[in-house]
Amino acid sequence: FKIELEKYIDYYNTKRIKAKLKMSPVQYRTHFYQAV
């Protein structure tokens, strides 16, 4: 299950457009992991 979740998170963070955040998905992922 963990692997599937990681795949989904990777998809969510890299493929989806996050218009509200006004930054690219990769930037968001980097920002998110820095905050954790």
Q: Per-residue pLDDT tens for 5-35?
A: 888 887 776 666 555 656 666 776 776 777 6
Boundaries of every domain in the chain: 2-35
d(CA 12, CA 7): 8
DSSP 8-state assignment for residue 20: T
Instruction: Please state the pTM of the whole predicted model.
Output: 0.37
Distance of CA 24 to the CA centre of its chain: 9
